[in-house]
Amino acid sequence: MLLDENPGTLIHHTIGNFNIQPDKQAVTRINDSLATLQQSRELRVRDAESALRKLSRLLHSLNAQHEEAVSAHDSGKHAADMVELDTKKFRIAKAATELEIESERLESELEMLKERLADLEAQGLEGDESTRRERELDDATILRLKIYRSLGVDIEADDAGNFNKAIIRNSRKGDVHVVNIDPKFSRFFYSNYFWSTLQG
């Protein structure tokens, strides 16, 4: 009896009984999602390809720079420059050490001179007692020598500053006497001898 019915009607009822409308809507939604995913994937692929092209250009540029730097680099010259710089550094360090030592020496000398100046300022223009005595003795000695010379007697000193020789000139007679002064004889003896020679 089923065969007596129209097959189209039968198929239509069968489809209606299956209720495929929600499945069709689901398939439509799936197709829409697939299309959206495809578009998103294509955009990501295009972005990735663009980034890859940029990175490729950058890599090519860096390779060219690297090759240029390698070709321009001279390892022998670099080593020579390093040796020269080390030598200069050593010389500068040595000069700085020498200057530091010289500076310390000059500072020490300056301190000594400051102390000496302070001593001299404390002593005043006349100096200390021993300096005044030495100056007075020197002045007395110079005065004696002038007196002797005016009388015709020249006194000579040795390297140690001791008077050891006298030259007596008698202008009246035109005589010259050279006398070696021996410390074992007294000053009185030599005074009498000089007078007698000058008057004789």
Q: What pLDDT score does 7 carry?
A: 75
Q: What pLDDT score does 197 carry?
A: 72
Global pTM reads: 0.29
Indicate if the pLDDT at residue 88 is higher than 80.
yes
Q: What pLDDT score does 4 carry?
A: 67
Contact 177, 194 (CB under 8 A): no
* Top mean-pLDDT range of 33-47, 117-131, 170-184: 33-47
CATH (one of 3.30.160.430, 3.40.50.620, 1.10.30.50, 1.10.3720.10) for 140-199: 3.30.160.430
Query: Among candidates 148, 182, 149, which has minimal Cα distance to 165?
Result: 182
Q: What pLDDT score does 187 carry?
A: 73
Q: pLDDT digits over 107-123, tens only?
A: 998 998 888 888 777 76
Indicate if the pLDDT at residue 127 is higher than 60.
no
Indicate if the pLDDT at residue 166 is higher than 60.
yes
Confidence label for 1 from pLDDT (cuts 50, 70 and 90): very low
Confidence label for 11 from pLDDT (cuts 50, 70 and 90): confident
Q: pLDDT digits over 134-153, tens only?
A: 666 566 666 666 776 777 77
Share of the chain above pLDDT 90, in %: 31
Q: What are the beta bridge partners of residue 169?
A: 176
Q: pLDDT digits over 22-75, tens only?
A: 888 889 999 999 999 999 999 999 999 999 999 999 999 999 998 888 777 667
Q: What pLDDT score does 147 carry?
A: 73
Distance of alpha carbon 173 from alpha carbon 152, whole angstroms:
12
> Hey, what amino acid is at 18?
F
- 66-to-5, 54, 57, 60, 79 alpha-carbon distances in Å: 86, 18, 14, 10, 20
Distance of alpha carbon 185 from alpha carbon 194, whole angstroms:
13
Structure tokens at 187: 């000053």
Of residues 24 and 94, more confidence is placed in 94
Structure tokens at 99: 């200057």
